[in-house]
Amino acid sequence: MKVSVIIPNYNGKKYLKDCLDSLYKQSFNEFEVIIIDNNSSDGSIEYLRNNYVDIIIQELDKNHGFSKAVNEGIKAAKGEYVALLNNDTEVEKDWLENLVNCIKKDEKIFSVCSKMIQYNDRDKIDDTGDEYSIIGWAYKRGDGRDIENYSREEEVFSSCAGAAIYRKKIFDEIGCFDENFFAYMEDVDISYRAKIHGYKNIYCPDALVYHVGSGTSGSKYNEFKVKLAARNNIYVPYKNMPLIQLIMNFPFLLLGFFVKYVFFLKKGFGKIYLEGIKEGLTNLHKIKKVKYRNKNLFNYIKIELELIKNTFKYVFLKIKK
């Protein structure tokens, strides 16, 4: 088995047919499908067992979140590579083939992300990989732009785990997805860790995925998402930055958190955002920091420069809009 496709599911029955049927039309056929269900109550399991008998299904006892679900899938995976796919997606027939061809090019590639297109407006981009900035913000490349853009294969800070392939053996070195995150920013965290260890994350423009977006959480902004994202925005720099880097970047991170607070205050989520920040700070003891090693010093310097570059890039894009 070359690839294990892992689909976490929580009450996503209405999306499963389009997602799975598109997988069964793939030009690349050396793959298994593993669905990890977070204790759905919408009949997802019954639907799967009645209609897709060759799929591996694992049921969890409650909704453990995205990170736990995909980790269970990785444990069960037989493939050399694991492809993570959101249930609210539909993939083009050569999606998996293009991801495999890309990741095979270089042993230093940890992950390859897809060109995600808005499901209901297929002329617009949803995500072409994620960038992370010195102010502690992660942002989607290409969000809302015409699909003719981002047509070149290139390195990105992070692969969006909603539709990406990973080299399985590297998880043994850097660890799997951090289950403390539950959901949101866990893909930035694991991509960050991979970069610290000298690995790369690549964007593949030919791997096309149509993505509904917020299929599980229900909306772009809600209390659940805002609080979790705020908390996890505390976890990412704390976990991945050595103390000296944290001290150096602290004023910029503080500025980023303040601007985000003002943004969510205007949208009516100011109190919830602060609750997420507080939860992040009070639970730092649960987060296992990446151990600093001198052999990775050059990688830390490269990452710091990339964080600075990504910040200026984000500001430029906002001005350009």
**Per-domain residue ranges for the chain?**
89-321
The alpha carbon torsion through 151, 157, 158, 163 (nearest 10 deg) reads: 10
pLDDT in tens, 201-250: 999 999 999 999 865 555 677 899 999 999 999 999 999 999 999 999 99
H helix or E strand, kind and range, residue 261? helix 243-266
- The predicted pLDDT at position 214 comes to 64
- The predicted pLDDT at position 316 comes to 74
Q: What is the pTM of this model?
A: 0.94
- The predicted pLDDT at position 313 comes to 87
How many CB atoms lie under 10 A from the CB of residue 149?
Answer: 14
What backbone phi and psi angles, to 5 degrees, belong to 131? -110, 155
Dihedral sign from CA coordinates of 320, 313, 102, 10:
negative
Low pLDDT (below 50) residues in the chain:
none
Measure the CA angle with vertex 315, ends 311 and 320; round to 5°. Answer: 145
pLDDT in tens, 295-317: 999 999 999 999 999 999 887 76
SS3 content of the chain, % helix, strand, coil (to 5): 45, 20, 35
- The predicted pLDDT at position 208 comes to 98
